[in-house]
Amino acid sequence: NAGVTQTPKFRILKIGQSMTLQCAQDMNHNYMYWYRQDPGMGLKLIYYSVGAGITDKGEVPNGYNVSRSTTEDFPLRLELAAPSQTSVYFCASSYSSPTPGELFFGEGSRLTVL
Amino acid sequence: AQSVTQLGSHVSVSEGALVLLRCNYSSSVPPYLFWYVQYPNQGLQLLLKYTTGATLVKGINGFEAEFKKSETSFHLTKPSAHMSDAAEYFCAVSSGTYKYIFGTGTRLKVLA
């Protein structure tokens, strides 16, 4: 079972470039999330989705976009990359339940913007 | 609004000593509380969670946490530290809306 798969693992971008971080899960989870992790700051929620076709903003959505056309995939798009977007990005998923369930995380994508 | 405060960004303990990592939360509704562990260059994985019921929660690798409503705390403990426990630990809270708020993390160092 692959779980949550993120690609690429590492990427260097120049200021102003764009890219997409890919995330796929094979657990048939309804809920998917994108977080960014910065040293000493914990994890901040960028966007989340409660099902295919439904997305919503988290705490720090500016400079990012998402789409959810299938249950499995939840790509994160960075438009016009800025140095402030240098971070480690984690995709996560969870199952539907009456109470908040366990988050399953990918291994992360380390992005550097120069 | 919900928030999580983890006291101590770095904690060092000797191998075999008690591990105590502190987490306090703020929530206007009954919270759901979680502890996650992150090993170097990996994603986070669940250690334990509190939803309802018993306030003392046991997790993997010998860790446990106690929900204390009066103190708004959910501290993580382990009686005897092992070298393999060296990692970063995150406390998280959810109100049930499927959004999770994470603390800033505590890096645990285990000394031989």
Q: pLDDT tens, B88-101?
A: 999 999 987 678 99
Q: What is the mean pLDDT of residues B29-56?
A: 91
Q: DSSP character for A32?
A: E
Q: What is the mean pLDDT of residues A58-63?
A: 94
Q: Lowest-pLDDT range, A38-42, A68-72, B20-24?
A: A38-42
Q: Nearest CB to A42: which of B34, B43, B103?
A: B103
The answer to whether B42 contacts A58, with C-beta atoms less than 8 Å apart, is: no
Q: What is the pLDDT of residue A1?
A: 66
Spatial contact of A112 and A15, defined as CB atoms under 8 Å apart:
no
User: Chain A interface, mutation test: which of B98, B102, B107, most A Cβ atoms within 10 Å?
Assistant: B98
Q: What is the pLDDT of residue B62?
A: 96
Q: What is the mean pLDDT of residues B45-58?
A: 91
State phi, psi for A85 to the nearest 5 degrees: -90, 0
User: Chain A interface, mutation test: which of B7, B10, B100, most A Cβ atoms within 10 Å?
Assistant: B100
Q: What is the mean pLDDT of residues A26-33?
A: 94
Q: What is the mean pLDDT of residues B58-66?
A: 96
Computed from CA positions of residues A87, B95, B105, B25, in that sequence, does the dihedral angle turn out positive or negative?
A: positive
Q: What is the pLDDT of residue A31?
A: 94
Q: Does residue A17 sit in helix, strand or coil?
A: coil
Q: pLDDT averaged over chain A? A: 94
Q: What is the pLDDT of residue A7?
A: 96
